[in-house]
Chain A
Amino acid sequence: MTPPRSAFGGPTLPFQGRERGRLLARYNASPAQALALVFVALFLLAFLVVPLLRVIQIAFTGPDGAFSLVHFGDFFRTSLLRESFWNSIYVAGMTVLLASLIAVPLATILARYRFRGAALIHTLGVVPLVMPPFVGAVAMQLIYGRNGTINLLLMDWFGFRIPFMEGLNGVIFVEALHYFPFILLNLSASLANIDSAMEESAQNLGAHGFTLFSRIVFPLALPGYVAGAALVFVKVFDDLATPLLLNVNNMLAPQAYLKITSVGIADPMGYVISVIMIACSLGAMLLSALVLKGRDFAITQRGGGGLSRRSLGRWGTAAAAAFVIVALAVSLSPHIGIFLLSIGTVWSFAELPDAYTVQHYVTVYRESLPLISNTVLYCGLAGLIDIVLGATLAYVVLRTKLPGRRLVEQAAMSAVAIPGLVLGIGLLRTYYDFQIPFTGESLATFWFMLVIAYAVRRLPYALAAATAALQQLHVSLEEAAESLGAGKLRVLSRIVVPLMTGGLLAGFVTSFATAAVELSATLLLVARAPDAPLSYGIYVYMQSAAGRGPGAALGVIAVVVVAIATYAAFKIAERERGLKSREMF
């Protein structure tokens, strides 16, 4: 692979512009950048590192109360945990593979060919990320379970079952359906940034078809793919919901969860496992950075608006459409299941519900309105915080040499591996005694703390997306603007941010979509019913048999809310892209 060189020729030199502090100049940073890094670091220190340390210090405390690593020794001496460790690695790796098989063709088809309703397909491609708690699990079992719709039909017609939902392979299947959007989103954002001129040059030189894809297009989009794949790996490695849903206990995340949440057990092992999961996740992210290291993905030319779009022939269109439809149908089947649950009366050991009703929607109508607005408010704010922090951090990490920037980045990334309950306990422990002036309400149970908890836990998604976007942006564009007299801020607002829109959007959408169904921290931090988001409402309903329908109805509402937000975001991006290319011409 030979990446394109800068249009200004040769490797770029760090820009030596106006006078800066000598120290900062050595780090290639402006005071504002240094300040931004300090701000992000303080945010993470306050809302991630300190709360986390206050909870997991028990992992480093020996039976006599002094500092000790004895529990880490126990971890490696325990065969069940060693087995869990390898299972988690295996499942995460295989999921990346399977998710890539879904996401890479999907992203390529969407980026390459003229498609009606591309924004709609992009939106539907995000929806699998939104798996409402409990309801999603019930729906998955009703569709793919041992006696789910598909297996009941298979039994009737052919007399056999497929164990979709059993063992490690079941976990891989469900995880891939659930998390492939990470790759789809980030890869799509990367593909959209490739200039068609690159492709055309290659075509002029005789490359086409698979060669063109494997030698030019995919390598140029590698930052996005790697960001997505690393997120899938880490997310699956740390994911709790799916193993619990399939009742697979011999993986790390469920082992940690079962230890931490078991009543009356003061076993430090749960926290030890958490620490090990954080370390592994950081390791995986570092490894993914190594893959990209020493390669240059940046492109100076901008405005082509992504790959040149082509029309497919009749057969090509049919094949592409068939793939898109099958991929989306399979990955959205849980959501179809949730919808059926929400309009069904009783659904038990049957292909479909016994009868249909709108009663469940009537039931939730009265109480769901505040739940919806709370969810939009909290997750929207969390998404915004995430892209601001993520973009800032990515910029400082890639464009400056400030000391400690990598450390801050790793701290931010570690949030992906932290169980919601652990962060929730940490935030309560750290902030419960802070009172909000005048109201006397505790800061920890104030609704904004939920926003912060969501933002902290979803920051890795936005950070990964922003980093990938920035890696494709050649520094010479900024230098050119600066040499023409633009200040740092102007460069940022006129050059960097607009050209990163796609990546920032991917970050926002992932943060928003996954925060909308967060439950574990929510359950701990919500103190008043009027402040509660949708996921809390779903939890409350799903506690009893009669609540299954209304719970599913709330689940459908959560999915629709996320879909609308995502669709709007893609529409905005499309318009931006349209504007950008017109400006250039």
Chain B
Amino acid sequence: MTRISRRTFVFAAVLTLGASPAFSQGLEDRLIIVTSFPKDLTAPFAGAFQKKYPGTKVEVQNRNTAAAIAFVRETQSNPPDIFWASAPDAFEVLKKSSLLQKYQPKAQGVASKIGSYPVNDPDGFYIGFAASGYGIMYNTRYMRANNLPAPKEWDDLKKPIYFGHVGISAPSRSGTTHLTVETILQGEGWDKGWATLLEVGGNLTQVSDRSFGVPDAVNSGQYGLGIVIDFFGLSAKASGFPVEFVYPTVTTIVPANVGIIAKSKNQKAAEAFVEFLLSDEGQQILLDPKIQRLPVKEAAYAKAPAGYPNPFKDAKLGARVKFNADVSEARYALLNSLYDRLITFRLKELNAAWKAIHDAEKKLGTGGSAEAKKLIAEARRLATAVPISEKEASDKAVAAAFRDLKKGEKAAGRQAEFEERWDSFAVKNYAEAKALAERAGSAK
């Protein structure tokens, strides 16, 4: 029965194809897009594409990233055509499961790198069509009510004054936060980078499980500052919320991507859609105040409003750090898990340790005995320590514990074993750091 109905279906499809105007342009009459982008972004693109190719009906399926990946994975017998999302990690997962196809875009004038981050997948399975920078978004009413100064740099977020006022999304939950964390680690080095992450971590009031949770909370004034991607801040401001957004001097640039799904039934329409995103017309749509993403074509900035961030002109946008994609890929899942063990799941303990350190340092001021200084130094060391060295983290056998094993491959252990070790490391260190700092405070 299945075979008959499928044949009937194909037959019917061929009939309709022959009749539709899209056929005369060589496109199929349907295009199915799976996306995690908000409607504010998808609707203008889908509308403009359909206007250009009136014979092709665009069906946009909005799903969150997890559901989108699961959907593509489970529907291989009759897949959708386009996967359209920010998170490069989602594309990597699909690519590794052979669910994407290679495509070389024909569009001219697209930059190969924005800042130091390559726009396209080097293997050609997904294509960057826009970029975004990371920065700090803050609620101006909240800042005024709590007498907080506006931050300028990432390091500002370490300051005791911001204790309990900062939010971030977990790198394991947000591919773009992951890239930011990775960039900090590559820029500052593994140990120093983790020290920064953990010290900022001490000030965090929340590690959100979804990227949009952070701007949501800052918009409401639930907490004051959020580490977010630029358009979250810029579009909230454009919608009237009392928020501001700043790029720190060293910022990271992350791409937004599109890929054609393997065995797409509407191949030509899918290719046309990718080309449309990269066309001058498509790039122009990115400047829409509700979208506010950075075009990957320099020419598109000609019509941008004054003050629109331009990574081609503004050297501070993402240029400082040389991003090594291979290093990033090798430790991708491990890094997510490590951040969750050290920060996300032990936030209360980390907060308590840093609160004690801040209090002790404030009490001692510039003075204090050598003994107290030693205690504080030791507390800081404990509260910024990381349980695994950079070398180990990039070790193949260790990394293998965090992904599906290939046949005959050996891992250095199970994920759960590593996680338990890191968790007890964190709990023990934070408790000791807290105790030492408290002793330093009373030692004076």
Q: Report if B316 contacts A (CB, 8 A).
A: no
Q: Report if B103 contacts A (CB, 8 A).
A: no
Q: Report if A198 contacts B (CB, 8 A).
A: no
Chain A positions within 8 Å of B221 at CB level = 147, 348-350
The answer to whether B39 and A544 have CB atoms under 8 Å apart is yes
- How many residues from A make CB contacts under 8 Å with B? 72
Q: Report if B298 contacts A (CB, 8 A).
A: no
Could you give 20 example pairs across A and B, Cβ below 8 Å? A63-B411, A77-B416, A80-B419, A146-B222, A263-B69, A265-B336, A265-B402, A267-B416, A348-B141, A424-B70, A433-B2, A435-B2, A435-B9, A436-B5, A541-B39, A543-B212, A544-B39, A546-B40, A546-B235, A546-B238
Task: Name the one of B61, B216, B344 contacting A526, with C-beta atoms under 8 angstroms.
Answer: B61
The answer to whether B172 and A262 have CB atoms under 8 Å apart is yes
Chain A's nearest CB lies how many Å from the CB of B412? Answer: 11
User: Bound complex: CA of A432 vs CA of B80, how far in Å?
Assistant: 13
Task: Name the one of B38, B344, B420 contacting A547, with C-beta atoms under 8 angstroms.
Answer: B38
- Given contacts A249-B344, A527-B61, whether A258 and B404 have CB atoms under 8 Å apart is no
User: Bound complex: CA of A78 vs CA of B418, how far in Å?
Assistant: 10
Q: Report if B207 contacts A (CB, 8 A).
A: yes
11 additional contacts (CB under 8 A) given A74-B420, A428-B74, A544-B40:
A63-B414, A77-B420, A145-B220, A147-B142, A147-B222, A265-B337, A349-B220, A434-B2, A528-B61, A536-B62, A545-B215
- 4 shortest A-B CB distances, which residue pairs? A349-B221, A440-B9, A543-B38, A74-B416
The answer to whether A80 and B2 have CB atoms under 8 Å apart is no
User: Considering the complex, which residues of chain B in the window 20-73 have a beta carbon less than 8 Å from any beta carbon of chain A?
Assistant: 37-40, 59-67, 69-71
Q: Report if B324 contacts A (CB, 8 A).
A: no
Q: Report if A346 contacts B (CB, 8 A).
A: yes
Task: Name the one of B69, B77, B208, B220 contacting A347, with C-beta atoms under 8 angstroms.
Answer: B220
Q: Report if A468 contacts B (CB, 8 A).
A: no
Chain B's nearest CB lies how many Å from the CB of A350? Answer: 7
Chain B positions within 8 Å of A514 at CB level = none
Residue of B8, B77, B216 contacting most chain A CB atoms (<10 Å)? B216
The answer to whether A258 and B209 have CB atoms under 8 Å apart is yes
The answer to whether A544 and B290 have CB atoms under 8 Å apart is yes
The answer to whether B66 and A263 have CB atoms under 8 Å apart is yes
User: Bound complex: CA of A542 vs CA of B210, how far in Å?
Assistant: 12
Q: Report if A540 contacts B (CB, 8 A).
A: yes
- Given contacts A264-B93, A269-B416, whether A258 and B173 have CB atoms under 8 Å apart is yes
Interface string of A410-432 (1 = CB under 8 A from B): 00000000000100110011001
- Given contacts A440-B6, A524-B67, whether A78 and B414 have CB atoms under 8 Å apart is no
Q: Report if A579 contacts B (CB, 8 A).
A: no
Chain A's nearest CB lies how many Å from the CB of B169? Answer: 11
- Given contacts A264-B92, A265-B337, whether A349 and B141 have CB atoms under 8 Å apart is yes
- Given contacts A345-B240, A346-B240, A348-B242, whether A543 and B62 have CB atoms under 8 Å apart is yes
The answer to whether A528 and B411 have CB atoms under 8 Å apart is no
Q: Report if A261 contacts B (CB, 8 A).
A: yes
The answer to whether A138 and B67 have CB atoms under 8 Å apart is no
The answer to whether B236 and A545 have CB atoms under 8 Å apart is yes
Q: Report if A16 contacts B (CB, 8 A).
A: no
